[in-house]
C-alpha cells in the first residue's frame, strides 16, 4: 500500500465542485438567454469562464495539492500567450483598418467629381 | 509550510515548501517534480503544449473576427434549437456543456476509487465517463450536420455573414471533438484494463510494457479534465461572445 498512494481526497469535494461548475455554467448560459450586451456581457462571460477553469484545474486536476515546482512549471508558461493575444489584437485592428480604407465604400467624394 | 510525503518515490525527509521548495526541487540535481509519478508530470507537459495549440486557434479566431468587415453571424441564433414551436438560444450547446462537465465529475470520482483499489466502482465510473463523452461527440455530429446540411455553413462561406465563421468553427470544434473521441477510446481501453485486473496485478501494458498501477487512471483523468477545460474556453469565446 506504500506504493500508489497518490492524490486521495474525500468524494464530497468532487461533488461540491461538480455542483459549482453546474451553477457557473447555468449562469453563463443565462448571460446569453437574457441578452446582456456590451461590457457587462463580456465581463460576466470571462468571469464565469475563469472561475470554471480555475475550479477544474485546482480540484479535478488536483493542482492545488501539487508542489509549487510543478504548479509554476505548468501555469506560468501560458502567460506568454498574453503577448500573442496583444499581437493578434494589433494585427486584427490594422487589417480591419486597411480593409476599410482599400475595399470599403471609399472616400465621400461625390461621383461627378471623381 | 511543509507538505506530507505522498508517494514512496519521494524521500522520507520532509520537503521544504513555498518558494524555497521550488529552488530546492529544481536545484537538487535529481527529479524536479517530486511526489508525482513521472507519467503524470509528462502528461502535464503534454497538456501544456496542447494549451498552446488551442490558444493559437482561439487567438487566430479572435484576429479574423476583429479584422472582418462583414458582420459576424450571431452564434446565439445560429446554434439555437426550436423546441415545441419555441426558439431557444444555444440550447444544444448548453446541454453539451453539462454533459461534458458531468463526465469530468465521474472521471474525478473514478480516480478517487482507483486509488482506493475499488475495482468495480472505478470500472463503472470510467464507463459512464466514456458514455458521456460519446454522447458529447454524438451531439457535436448532430450540430455539424445541422450546420452543414440545413444552414449551408462551409469553411469558405455561409449565408449568415462573415466567411471566417465557418473556418474558425470547423477548425476549433473539430480539433476539440477529435480530442474527445481519442479520450473516449482511451477511457474504454483503461476500463478494460481495470476490469481485467491488469492494474491490481501490475501486468505490463501491451504498448509500453510498464507495470500497471492505478496512477495511470489519474494521468488519464488529467487528459479528460483538460478536454473539459478547453470546452469552457470554446463555450465562452466562440458561442457566447
Cβ–Cβ of B22/A68 closer than 8 Å? yes
In chain B, residues with a C-beta closer than 8 Å to the C-beta of A60 are: 104-105, 107-108, 221, 225, 228
Cβ–Cβ of B62/A92 closer than 8 Å? yes
Q: Which residue has the higher pLDDT, A57 or B79?
A: A57
DSSP state of A49: H
Interface test with B, best of A44, A88, A97 (most B CBs within 10 A): A88
With cut-offs at 50, 70 and 90, classify the pLDDT of residue B78: confident
pLDDT at A78 over 90: yes
pLDDT at A58 over 80: yes
Quick one: which of B113, B174, B116 has its CA closest to B141? Answer: B174
pLDDT at B3 over 70: no
In tens, the pLDDT along B12-35 reads 678 888 888 888 888 876 788 888
What's the gap in Å between the CA of B149 and the closest CA on chain A? 26
Cβ–Cβ of B105/A18 closer than 8 Å? yes
What's the gap in Å between the CA of B152 and the closest CA on chain A? 24
For residues B203-227, average pLDDT:
88
Closest residue in A to B102 (Cα–Cα): A18
Cβ–Cβ of A92/B21 closer than 8 Å? no
- Residue of A6, A15, A49 lying closest to B236 (CB–CB): A49
In chain A, residues with a C-beta closer than 8 Å to the C-beta of B94 are: 25, 29
For residues B234-241, average pLDDT:
92
Interface test with A, best of B64, B65, B67, B225 (most A CBs within 10 A): B67
The 3-state DSSP class for residue A42 equals helix
Q: Domain B38-240 in CATH: superfamily? A: Cytochrome c oxidase, subunit III, four-helix bundle (1.20.120.80)
Cβ–Cβ of B69/A84 closer than 8 Å? no
Cβ–Cβ of A85/B94 closer than 8 Å? no
In tens, the pLDDT along B81-112 reads 777 777 778 888 999 999 999 999 999 999 99
pLDDT reported for residue B1: 52
pLDDT at A2 over 70: no
pLDDT at B231 over 50: yes
In chain B, residues with a C-beta closer than 8 Å to the C-beta of A100 are: 69
pLDDT reported for residue A4: 44
Question: What is the number of residues in chain A?
Answer: 114
In chain B, residues with a C-beta closer than 8 Å to the C-beta of A84 are: 55-56, 59
* Residue A76, C-alpha cell as written in the block: 506560468
**Are B117 and B215 contacting, i.e. CB atoms less than 8 angstroms apart?**
no
DSSP-derived secondary structure for A6-39: -----HHHHHHHHHHHHHHHHHHHHHHHTT--HH
Cβ–Cβ of B89/A62 closer than 8 Å? no
* Residue B176, C-alpha cell as written in the block: 476539440
**Domain-by-domain residue ranges, chain B?**
1-35, 38-240
Mean predicted lDDT score pLDDT of chain B: 89
Mention every residue, 6+ apart, whose C-beta is less than 8 A from residue A9. A62, A65, B112
Mention every residue, 6+ apart, whose C-beta is less than 8 A from residue B131. none
Closest residue in B to A23 (Cα–Cα): B98
Mention every residue, 6+ apart, whose C-beta is less than 8 A from residue A65. A7, A9
What ipTM describes this predicted complex? Answer: 0.86
What's the gap in Å between the CA of B211 and the closest CA on chain A? 12
Q: Establish, for the pair of chains A and B, how many residue pairs have beta carbons separated by less than 8 Å.
A: 180
Long-range pairs for B178-186: beta carbons < 8 A, 24 or more residues apart: B179/B50, B179/B227, B179/B230, B180/B100, B180/B133, B180/B136, B180/B137, B180/B140, B180/B227, B181/B137, B183/B133, B183/B223, B183/B224, B183/B227, B184/B130, B184/B133, B184/B134, B184/B137, B186/B220, B186/B223
For residues B48-55, average pLDDT:
96
Closest residue in A to B215 (Cα–Cα): A4
pLDDT at B42 over 50: yes
Q: Which residue has the higher pLDDT, B4 or B71?
A: B71
pLDDT reported for residue B33: 87
**Are A41 and A31 contacting, i.e. CB atoms less than 8 angstroms apart?**
yes
In tens, the pLDDT along B114-157 reads 999 999 999 999 999 999 999 999 999 999 999 999 888 999 98
Amino acid at each position: 500500500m506504500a506504493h500508489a498512494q497518490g492524490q486521495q481526497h474525500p468524494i464530497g469535494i468532487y461533488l461540491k465542485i461538480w455542483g459549482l461548475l453546474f451553477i457557473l455554467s447555468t449562469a453563463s448560459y443565462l448571460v446569453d438567454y437574457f441578452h446582456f450586451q456590451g461590457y457587462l456581457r463580456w465581463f460576466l462571460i470571462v468571469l464565469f469562464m475563469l472561475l470554471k477553469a480555475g475550479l477544474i484545474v485546482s480540484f479535478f486536476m488536483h493542482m492545488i495539492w501539487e508542489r509549487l515546482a510543478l504548479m509554476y512549471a505548468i501555469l506560468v508558461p501560458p502567460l506568454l500567450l498574453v503577448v500573442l493575444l496583444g499581437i493578434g489584437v494589433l494585427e486584427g485592428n490594422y487589417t480591419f483598418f486597411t480593409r476599410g480604407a482599400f475595399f470599403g465604400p471609399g472616400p465621400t467624394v461625390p461621383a461627378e467629381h471623381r | 509550510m511543509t507538505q506530507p510525503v505522498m508517494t514512496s518515490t519521494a524521500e522520507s525527509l520532509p520537503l521544504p515548501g513555498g518558494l524555497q521548495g521550488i529552488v530546492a526541487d529544481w536545484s537538487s540535481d535529481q527529479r524536479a517534480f517530486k511526489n508525482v509519478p513521472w507519467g503524470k508530470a509528462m502528461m502535464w507537459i503534454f497538456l501544456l503544449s496542447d494549451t498552446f495549440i488551442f490558444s493559437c486557434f482561439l487567438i487566430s479566431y479572435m484576429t479574423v473576427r476583429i479584422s472582418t468587415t462583414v458582420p459576424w453571424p450571431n452564434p446565439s441564433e445560429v446554434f439555437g434549437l426550436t423546441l415545441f414551436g419555441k426558439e431557444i438560444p444555444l440550447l444544444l450547446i448548453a446541454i453539451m456543456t453539462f454533459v461534458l462537465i458531468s463526465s469530468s465529475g465521474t472521471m474525478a470520482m473514478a480516480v478517487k476509487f482507483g486509488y482506493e483499489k475499488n475495482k468495480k466502482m472505478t470500472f463503472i465510473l470510467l464507463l459512464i465517463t466514456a458514455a458521456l463523452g460519446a454522447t458529447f461527440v454524438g451531439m457535436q455530429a448532430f450540430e455539424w450536420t445541422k450546420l452543414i446540411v440545413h444552414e449551408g455553413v462551409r469553411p469558405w462561406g455561409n449565408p449568415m455573414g462573415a466567411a471566417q465563421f465557418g473556418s474558425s468553427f470547423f477548425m476549433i470544434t473539430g480539433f476539440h471533438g477529435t480530442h474527445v473521441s481519442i479520450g473516449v477510446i482511451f477511457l474504454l481501453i483503461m476500463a478494460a484494463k481495470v476490469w481485467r485486473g491488469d492494474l491490481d496485478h501490475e501486468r505490463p501494458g501491451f504498448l509500453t510494457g510498464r507495470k500497471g498501477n492505478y496512477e495511470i487512471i489519474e494521468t488519464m483523468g488529467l487528459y479528460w479534465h483538460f478536454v473539459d477545460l478547453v470546452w469552457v474556453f470554446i463555450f465562452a469565446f466562440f458561442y457566447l461572445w
